[in-house]
Chains A and B, each alone.
Chain A
Amino acid sequence: KVTHPGAAGPGGPLVRPCPGKVRHFKL
């Protein structure tokens, strides 16, 4: 029942759902 909206649909682009963007920098 868990959905993964970021996963690619048929022919669609692959979007990585998580983690999100880094706003500053990673340590």
Chain B
Amino acid sequence: VPHSLGLVYRQPACDDPEIEKAAQVAVDYLNQHLLHGYKHTLNQIDKAKVWPRRPFGEVYELEIDTLETTCHARDPTPLANCPVRQVSQHAVEGDCDFHVLKQDNQLTVLHAKCHSTPDSAEDVRKVCSDCPLLIPLNDTRVVHAAQAALAAFNARHNGSYFKLVEISRAQLVPLPESTLVEFVVAATDCVAKEVIEPTNCNLLAEKQYGFCKTTLTEKLGGEEVAVTCTVFHTQPEVPQPQPDVAKTADPIPAVEQPAPALPSAGPPAPSVTLGHVM
């Protein structure tokens, strides 16, 4: 809009209650639309501008820093109860840009774009020299650990056969040499004890996800696998508009949305593009 029309923004303080409220709505939106990785929590509001919006309302333009929590995106635990991933666990931060519309006292996210980045190995080493560091999710040791853990889980589990859905996080422990892997599984229409051909097992229409943590330790003459899984209640799928950007299999999730053109009235229905960055 030409400046001659007098459209100007205001800049409340970043900790102003109205800005904090809009930021929380933005972070909730981010978490509701994540399909991979972990929920993020608000850490700091970097910048805030408030633009008038015609014919009604205001648009909050926010720059926000987030931190990864230990709750997976599919974990129903409320964000307030999700612990922040500590530096010693190799923390991950997110940098987000949001546009939030305030109209009729309702806050609606118009645009969301986030990039997440793991802390540097050097910073983790400053905290402790033997902290396990993140390693790529496609590392053969990681994939092997997840598959071995899932096989062990299915062998000891009464009920549905579970399939691997996502490897979410992986770290290497130097001594004793072990691989820590967190992964997501989902129930199929097969019974675990009766499965002969896993490729014939299909995920249930009403998805039932589980979140597993495993430690695979190298031993003399073999390996030892410890695995614990939490199976969540069945969840309805969050409708996801078709993405414009090709999905990749990188480990850290991000939400990115193109800004839709502002309609003349009424809250817009934002489209979501899910991408992944490291």
Q: A residues bordering B, Cβ < 8 Å?
A: 1-6, 15, 17-27
Main secondary structure of the interface of A (DSSP, over half): loop
Binding site for A on B (CB under 8 A): 6, 8-16, 19-20, 41-48, 65, 67, 84, 87, 91, 93, 119, 123
Chain B residues whose CB sits within 8 angstroms of the CB of A4 once the complex forms:
11
A18 lies within 8 A of B48 (CB): yes
Contact among B14, B16, B46, B67 for A24, CB-based, below 8 A: B67
**Residue contact A24 to B41, C-beta cutoff 8 Å:** yes
A5 touching B67 in the complex, CB below 8 Å, given contacts A23-B42, A27-B87:
no
Identify the closest chain B residue to A6 (Cβ): B13
Taking a contact as CB atoms under 8 Å apart, the answer to whether B44 and A17 are in contact is no
Nearest-neighbour CB distance to chain A for B39, whole angstroms, equals 14
A1 to B45, CA, bound (A): 23
Q: Tell me, rounded to whole Å, the shortest Cβ–Cβ distance linking A25 to chain B.
A: 7
Q: Which residue of A lies closest to B120 (CB)?
A: A27
Whether the Cβ atoms of A20 and B15 lie closer than 8 Å is: yes
Say how far B159's CB is from chain A's closest CB, in angstroms: 38
Are the C-beta atoms of B45 and A19 separated by less than 8 Å? yes
Whether A17 and B41, one on each chain, are in contact in the complex, defined by CB atoms closer than 8 angstroms, is no
Across the interface, do B87 and A5 meet the contact criterion of CB distance under 8 Å? no
Residues on B with C-beta less than 8 A from A17 are: 11-14
B93 engages A2 (CB within 8 Å):
no
Chain B residues positioned under 8 Å from A18 (CB to CB) = 11, 13-14, 45-48
Q: Smallest CB-CB separation from B23: which chain A residue?
A: A20
Give Cα distance in the complex from A12 to B5, angstroms.
33
A24 CA to B12 CA in the complex, in Å?
22
Q: Which of B13, B65, B91 contacts A15 (CB 8 A)?
A: B13
Complex interface: chain B residues within 8 A of A25 (CB): 43, 67, 87, 91
- A2 CA to B13 CA, complexed, in Å: 13
Whether the pair A20, B10 counts as a contact (CB closer than 8 A) is no
